[in-house]
Amino acid sequence: MMLSNSAYIKTDTQTFLVHHQKNSLFCSCPPAAKTQAISSNASSCFSVSLTSKGIPLLFHRDLNNNAYLTLLYPSGKNESRGLIPCPAFASSQTCRYCQSDTLGSCFFYTLPVEGKKYNALYMADFEAENDTKIETCLSMKNADFYIFNTTVPCVFFRTIQNRLMLCTFLGTSLSTYRLFPISTTADTITDMSCLWHNNRLHIVYTLTENSSTYLMYKYFENNTLSTGKILWSGKKSDCCIVFAVKENIFAFAISGNIAHYAFSQNNGTSFFNAARYFKPVEAISKAQYISMGNSSYVAQEVLLGEENKALLAQDFCPPPPVKQTDFTSTEEYLRLRNKVVQYQNQLKEKNSQVSEISKTASTTQQQNSMLMYQWRTKLDELEKEKVQLSEKNVELTDTLSQVNESLTALQDKFEDMQNRYTELENRYNSLNSGVSRMSEENSALKKAKSILEEELYRVNNPELLE
């Protein structure tokens, strides 16, 4: 797949496509096929932004390094003006234009270092009067450096120590830039893509090591980089792209017409395992993407296919509402009704054919992929429910353990009370037996006493015996 330099701009009323081919710069308004030449002597490096009024603004240079700003209009009556020559335009190898709310208009460009095999990366304000050197750098495999115009410009470049660095800005001045290391093997990186979404800078890049290609992911938040994640690995990849749809982050790696992707439902904190996309992706170029409206497809870049159709974005975005036809005449109504009948007959015939084929055909890869996506979402819900049930099970287990402990204590207490009752009963029976014996002995003593008293009386009264 050719990674040509192109830009895809969607305003409230029109879509623009700018692309470079054979030293010429062209502009068209899809789906119209008509193409207008902007310059027939153009450098391949250009940049696009939007003015405050939503008009596409194109920065480009000719082969003599003269720089221009061109306003693009749907009518084709574009307005161009030349910029005053300066080192950023006249001597630079690559020059990119950025426009942000915090820094305003600025340029990023590279100049060769005399007698060295590396370049110097500079930045300058719009007047190109305040040049600031960022760092010395080496060219990467497919670009001198990468720049993404998010809330602030984000520049990625390769240092002479072979590190991939991120240059970003903390304030409203070019002097507030800071550098953050992304990778220590910048010479292996073949492509990059970037996205600012939900207060995070999502960074995706592909690198090739030992004949294997890896789709890597990091995010940048609060001046801190996350640890890297390997989202996918394979034999090769032509390009990568990252975008957001309905709060989900999607990272794609494209190889030929085969795409693999991983997606996150928590803003990049974790990703599902990578899977093959359900249909071929016949991409011709990867373009800078700018959209004014509230689109469900949020991205810095977009893949373009034949007839300049935006790929992937169409699959994830709902189609526009269909405008209802106003039947103003009987003739128009009958014509459309006959057409509907024809379509219905054709549909019945096709349905019959499809019904026969479906009896013997296996489930298609598209159905499998979509089912996998649905089941992954369902699995995530079931995992959450499983965690909740596990927590409830632990709570019930603890309660049951406490009840068992209380029951064991009561059983021990009952056995102790039963033993004490048996002991008391035995003592009572023993005492009762003693009392009976004492009662018998008391009766015997009473009888003996009575006999003794009678004997004593006779002894004391002998005259009674005479």
Residue-averaged pLDDT of the chain = 85
Q: Strand, helix or coil at 295?
A: coil
**pLDDT at residue 262 is higher than 90:** yes
Is 112 strand, coil or helix?
strand
126-138 CB burial, b ≥16 within 10 A, e <16 = bebeebeebbbbb
Q: What is the pLDDT of residue 332?
A: 65
Alpha carbon distance 283, 193 (integer Å) = 16
And the tokens for 174? 């070019």
Q: Cα(145)–Cα(158) distance, rounded to whole angstroms?
A: 7
Q: Is the pLDDT of residue 316 over 90?
A: no
Q: What is residue 318's predicted lDDT score, i.e. its pLDDT?
A: 62
Predicted pLDDT at 2: 47
Contact between 58 and 51 under an 8 Å Cβ cutoff? The reply is: no
**Exposure class string for 213-227: b at 16+ Cβ within 10 A, else e:** bbbbbbbbeeeeeee
Is the per-residue pLDDT at 325 higher than 60? no
Domain locations along the chain: 6-316, 365-466
Choose the weakest-confidence range: 1-5, 26-30, 183-187, 208-212: 1-5
Q: CA-to-CA distance for 307 and 15, rounded, in angstroms?
A: 13
Indicate if the pLDDT at residue 456 is higher than 90.
Answer: no
Topology of the domain comprising 6-316: Methylamine Dehydrogenase; Chain H (2.130.10)
Token digits for 27?
């502009």
pTM: 0.67
Output DSSP code: residue 414: H
Stretch among 111-120, 125-134, 281-290 having the lowest mean pLDDT: 125-134
- Single out the residue of 137, 201, 139, 190 nearest to residue 168, CA to CA: 201
> Above 80 in pLDDT, residue 282?
yes
Give percent of the chain above pLDDT 90. Answer: 37
128 torsion bin: left (phi>0), alpha (psi -120 to 50), beta (else): left
Q: Which letter, b or e, does each residue of 331-345 get, where b requires 16 or more Cβ atoms within 10 Å of its Cβ?
A: eeeeeeeeeeeeeee
Helix H or strand E segment including 212: strand 212-221
| pLDDT tens digits, one per residue of 77-129 | 889 999 888 877 778 888 888 888 778 888 899 999 999 989 999 998 876 56
DSSP strand pairing (285-291 vs 6-10): parallel
CB 255 within 8 A of CB 236: yes
Q: How far apart are CA 181 and CA 170, in angstroms?
A: 16
Residues 6 or more apart whose Cβ sits within 8 Å of residue 96: 45, 47, 59, 107, 108, 109, 147
Residue 273 has pLDDT above 90, yes or no: yes
Residue 250 reports pLDDT greater than 90:
yes
Percent of the chain with pLDDT over 70: 91
Longest dimension (CA), the chain: 179
Q: Hey, what are 315's tokens?
A: 């699959």
